[in-house]
Chain A
Amino acid sequence: DQQVKQNSPSLSVQEGRISILNCDYTNSMFDYFLWYKKYPAEGPTFLISISSIKDKNEDGRFTVFLNKSAKHLSLHIVPSQPGDSAVYFCAASPAGGTSYGKLTFGQGTILTVHP
């Protein structure tokens, strides 16, 4: 199942710089997108979401951009902090039908922020 893909398994960034995590999807029925952060031995923690009627959503240091025509979304973290080091997952779901709550996840990107 490759409906949601995160092509970069890992990303290394210096503290204070921008982290950009990317995600591509293939299912045109997806219209609600989320980013989660996960530490080892913990559950995914919700960070930020965006619906397909918008192309940008911002919450503090986190901004998600959605390009529907390219079926691409990205998460920007500015400025990056060492505590941001974790696995980041993007997830997508349809907003209608019976599958509205069914999240499809990407494989995750390991972000390491160096002091």
Chain B
Amino acid sequence: EPEVTQTPSHQVTQMGQEVILRCVPISNHLYFYWYRQILGQKVEFLVSFYNNEISEKSEIFDDQFSVERPDGSNFTLKIRSTKLEDSAMYFCASSEAGVGPQYFGPGTRLTVT
């Protein structure tokens, strides 16, 4: 069964460093998303991406964040200068249609020290 994959599974970085989280969505999906879950809190929407542009972004998704689909298979989330409060699980998701089930990857645990 096709699945969303994410790398790395765990990333430790120092405050102020740049990180890139990588995702390979399901191959025939056209809509891509990033969510995050801070420990003990809800899963929160960050950004949606369709047709090579951002469709919607949340208040969390400020200028420090960017997304890219550099080729036909990868979807990346970049955090330019990490802060302690960026420590969270980051989930990538994809869907076939704009309204429909979103399928999530296993997540990347980001720890900022």
Contacts and interface: CB of A to CB of B under 8 A. Distances in A.
A107 B91 contact: no
A34 B104 CA distance: 13
Given A95-B99, A106-B42, A101 B104 contact: no
B25 interface: no
B68 to A, nearest CB: 18
B65 interface: no
A48 to B, nearest CB: 9
Contacts of B98: 100-101
Interface in A20-68: 32, 34, 36, 41-46, 49, 51
Contact of A101 (B43, B56, B105): B56
Contacts, number: 63
Contact of A100 (B44, B99, B103, B107): B99
A103 interface: yes
Nearest to B54: A98
B2 to A, nearest CB: 13
A45 B104 contact: yes
Contacts of B50: 101
A42 B56 contact: no
Q: Would you call the interface of chain B mostly helix, strand, loop, or mixed?
A: strand
Contacts of B44: 105
A1 B44 CA distance: 10
Contact of A102 (B6, B42, B48, B103): B48
A50 B21 CA distance: 31
B105 A43 contact: yes
Given A44-B43, A44-B104, A49-B101, A99 B56 contact: yes
Given A99-B56, A105-B42, A44 B101 contact: no
A107 B42 contact: yes
The residue among A1, A93, A103, A108 with the most chain B CB atoms within 10 A of its own CB is A103
Interface of B: 4, 6, 31, 33, 35, 42-45, 48, 50, 55-56, 58, 91, 93, 95, 98-107
Interface of A: 1, 32, 34, 36, 41-46, 49, 51, 89, 91, 93, 95, 98-108
